[in-house]
Each structure stands twice: as structure tokens, then as C-alpha cells.
């Protein structure tokens, strides 16, 4: 999934694609580079970001969604607002990517159900302006899984078909770097909920924190693409269905390596009767 932020203030690419023409060009390029999905967003969710009006979000997003969908691109819309989701679907979007998992707008679930499109429910605890206050967990994996489980109940009760739902641990959203790393290392626990898992790690603070030796400001977001591709490969090898990224060509290669690795790993595991033993088996045996 290639990221297309039509915003003045996203943390890594704010302002680059605010002009509709440039945004459309960028979306077409992401698709040509290998993105299966182009994710169009009109509201920044970076820590501390202030909300924009729905009218402003519509004006940023709808023309771009329409042009890309007309060009045959599979478009998702990154929004927390039911009105924007509805308008984007009318303009050709086939997936609604809601970082609040339906918590920000009570009309979202019914809107998505009526539209009959797919839906990404991300783990979220609070609006961006004060989400850092909510980054408190005693067992981050268990709590994120339980909170996503509660979202699934509500979303399906509102009429969204289970087969239409994807889950996302929401890296960086009400999470400290250690929470992000723990969730990444334990993606299997989220997959056990029975839904495809999407991971959005690209250029995020937890990556910058490692690159900058504890200080993310030493490596600005645009300098984190190689590391982001490595993390995408780890997520893919950990069973992610989809990774949401800024740099599609590098990530495309990285996840293809993860796929080759996973395929080999699983055939080794099958041959030895389960995980854990694979490392001790000479590859020539299988
Ligand atoms: N992260 C951002 C925005 N949208 N959507 C999903 N599903 N998962 C994410 O992790 C996610 C998202 C923030 O990053 P950006 O400002 O680079 O778009």
C-alpha cells in the first residue's frame, strides 16, 4: 500500500502533494512502482496534529480518488470521517482505512456497511493531539488484541461483513517505541484474531529512534526509507498481509525477499514437523 498524503502537515511528506495535479501524478507513480493499493489521505494524524474540517478534507481527497480510480488504480481512503469515506467510495475508493477503527465517528461503521467496501480497523485510543498520554500498557499485545476484538464486535454488529475487515496494530498511535517493537515482534498474536493484518511502520518514530541511537530527531523521516523497508520485510515475514509505505520500490524488493524467505522457512518447518527446529536442519535435507 503506497501512501499519498494530500496534506500540508503530515510528519514526513506534508505539503509535497497538496496540489491535486501533483497528488494524482504521485498516485499513478506509486501504482506503477508496484503498489497494489494507493492510500489517499487528507488529514494528518501525526502526534499533536489538529483536525481539519470535513469540507477541507473532501476537497483534498475526492478529486484525487476519482482521478486515480478512473485510471484503474485500487484506491483506499485514509479517513476517520464517515462523510469523507462515503464521498470517496462514490468517487471510486474500494477500501476505507480508518485509523480510529470506527471510534472517531459513530456513523462510520454503518456507512462502510452500506457502501459494501473493505475496511481497515486500526488500533486507536485517542485523537492525535493527545494520544501520547494514552501510551500506557501492562501487556501491549494482549490489550491491543482485546481492544481490536471489541472493535470487530461493533463493526460486524453494524453490518460490516467479517470478510471485509482488516486489522492494524496502529504503530506509533498511543504507542511508545518499545510498544511498537513488541507488537511487530508478536504480529502472530494479532493474526490469531482471524483477520488479515496491515502494518504501517514507514518512517515512524520508533524506526528513527533506533537509527538515531535513541534520538529520532537525528534522522529525519525522509532518511528512514531503507530501515523502513527492512521493517516491512520483518512484518511480511511475521505474517502481515499488507504494509503501508512511502517508498514503494525499495519496499517491493524487501517484501519479495521476505516472501522467498518465508516460503523456504515454512517448507523447512513442514519437513521437520514444526517451527523451532528449522535452524538446526541442514537445508539440503528438504
Ligand atoms: N499511519 C498513519 C496514517 N494512516 N493507516 C493505517 N492503517 N496504519 C497506519 O499505521 C497509519 C495509517 C500515519 O503515517 P503517515 O503520516 O505517514 O501517513
- Judge residue 26's burial from the number of C-beta atoms within 10 Å of its C-beta, 0-12 exposed, 13-18 middle, 19 or more buried: buried
Is the CB–ligand 1 distance for residue 67 below 6 Å?
Answer: no
pLDDT for 74 equals: 98
Q: Which residues contact 211 (CB under 8 A, 6 or more apart)?
A: 218, 219, 223, 224, 227
Q: Which residues contact 165 (CB under 8 A, 6 or more apart)?
A: 118, 119, 121, 152, 155, 156, 195
pLDDT for 285 equals: 44
Could you state, in order of their start, the residue ranges of all structural domains in the chain?
2-259
- Rounded to whole angstroms, the Cα distance separating 59 from 84 reads 10
Distance 46 CA to ligand 1 centre (A): 9
Is the CB–ligand 1 distance for residue 112 below 6 Å?
Answer: no
Digit-coded pLDDT (tens) for 105-133: 999 999 999 999 999 999 999 988 888 89
The residue ranking higher by pLDDT, 56 or 278, is: 56
**Domain 2-259 sits in which CATH superfamily?**
Dihydropteroate synthase-like (3.20.20.20)
Digit-coded pLDDT (tens) for 198-243: 999 999 999 999 999 999 999 999 999 999 999 999 999 999 999 9
Is the CB–ligand 1 distance for residue 198 below 6 Å?
Answer: yes
Phi (first) and psi of residue 118, to 5 degrees? -80, 165
Distance 234 CA to ligand 1 centre (A): 18
pLDDT above 90 for 8: no
Q: What pTM was computed for the model?
A: 0.93
Looking at the CA of residue 44, tell me the nearest atom of ligand 1: 16
pLDDT above 60 for 14: yes
Q: What cell does 276 get?
A: 523451532
pLDDT above 60 for 278: no
Is the CB–ligand 1 distance for residue 98 below 6 Å?
Answer: no
Q: What is the mean pLDDT of residues 130-149?
A: 96
Pocket test for ligand 1, best of 10, 144, 200, 204 (most atoms within 8 A of CB): 200
pLDDT for 284 equals: 46
At 281, is the pLDDT very low, low, confident or very high (cuts 50, 70, 90)?
Answer: very low
pLDDT above 80 for 277: no
pLDDT for 283 equals: 47
pLDDT for 23 equals: 95
> Which stretch of 10-24, 68-82, 129-143 has the lowest confidence by average pLDDT?
10-24
**Distance from first CA to last CA of the chain, Å, rounded?**
34
Task: Tell me which residues are annotated as active site.
Answer: 204, 244
Average pLDDT over the chain, rounded to whole? 93
Looking at the CA of residue 10, tell me the nearest atom of ligand 1: 16
pLDDT above 60 for 276: no
3-state secondary structure 126-137: CCHHHHHHHCCC
Identify any residues that bridge with 199 across adjacent strands, giving them in sequence order.
243
Half-sphere exposure of 267 toward its Cβ, with a 13 Å CA cutoff?
10
At 22, is the pLDDT very low, low, confident or very high (cuts 50, 70, 90)?
Answer: very high
Alpha helices for 71-139 (secondary structure H): 82-90, 108-115
Q: How does DSSP classify residue 51?
A: P
Q: Which stretch of DSSP H or E encloses residue 208?
A: helix 205-211
Q: Are 69 and 93 in contact (CB under 8 A)?
A: yes
Digit-coded pLDDT (tens) for 238-273: 999 999 999 999 999 999 999 999 999 988 888 888
pLDDT above 60 for 187: yes
Is the CB–ligand 1 distance for residue 47 below 6 Å?
Answer: no
Q: Considering the chain, what percentage of its residues have pLDDT values greater than 70?
A: 93
At 275, is the pLDDT very low, low, confident or very high (cuts 50, 70, 90)?
Answer: low
pLDDT for 286 equals: 39
Amino acid at each position: 500500500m503506497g501512501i499519498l498524503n494530500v496534506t500540508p502537515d503530515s510528519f514526513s511528506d506534508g505539503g509535497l502533494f497538496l496540489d491535486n495535479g501533483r497528488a494524482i501524478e504521485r498516485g499513478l507513480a506509486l501504482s506503477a512502482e508496484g503498489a497494489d493499493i494507493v492510500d489517499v489521505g487528507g488529514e494528518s494524524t501525526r502526534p499533536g496534529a489538529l483536525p481539519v474540517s470535513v469540507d477541507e478534507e473532501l476537497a483534498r481527497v475526492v478529486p484525487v480518488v476519482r482521478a486515480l480510480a478512473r485510471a484503474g488504480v485500487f484506491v483506499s481512503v485514509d479517513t476517520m470521517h464517515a462523510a469523507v469515506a462515503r464521498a470517496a467510495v462514490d468517487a471510486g475508493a474500494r477500501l476505507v482505512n480508518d485509523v480510529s477503527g470506527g471510534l472517531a465517528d459513530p456513523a462510520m461503521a454503518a456507512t462502510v456497511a452500506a457502501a459494501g467496501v473493505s475496511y481497515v480497523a486500526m488500533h486507536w485510543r485517542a485523537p492525535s493531539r493527545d494520544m501520547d498520554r494514552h501510551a500506557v500498557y501492562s501487556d501491549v499485545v494482549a490489550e491491543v488484541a482485546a481492544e481490536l476484538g471489541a472493535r470487530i464486535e461493533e463493526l460486524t454488529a453494524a453490518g460490516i461483513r467479517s470478510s471485509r475487515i482488516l486489522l492494524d496494530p496502529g504503530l506509533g498511535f498511543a504507542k511508545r517505541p518499545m510498544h511498537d517493537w513488541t507488537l511487530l515482534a508478536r504480529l502472530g498474536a494479532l493474526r490469531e484474531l482471524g483477520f488479515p493484518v496491515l502494518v504501517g511502520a514507514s518512517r515512524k518514530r520508533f524506526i528513527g529512534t533506533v537509527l538515531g541511537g535513541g534520538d529520532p530527531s537525528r534522522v529525519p523521516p525522509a532518511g528512514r526509507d531503507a530501515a523502513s523497508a527492512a521493517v516491512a520485510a520483518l512484518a511480511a515475514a511475521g505474517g502481515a498481509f499488507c504494509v503501508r509505505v512511502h517508498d514503494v520500490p525499495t519496499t517491493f524488493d524487501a517484501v519479495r525477499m521476505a516472501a522467498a524467505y518465508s516460503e523456504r522457512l515454512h517448507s523447512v518447518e513442514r519437513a521437520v514437523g514444526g517451527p523451532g527446529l528449522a535452524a538446526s536442519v541442514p537445508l539440503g535435507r528438504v
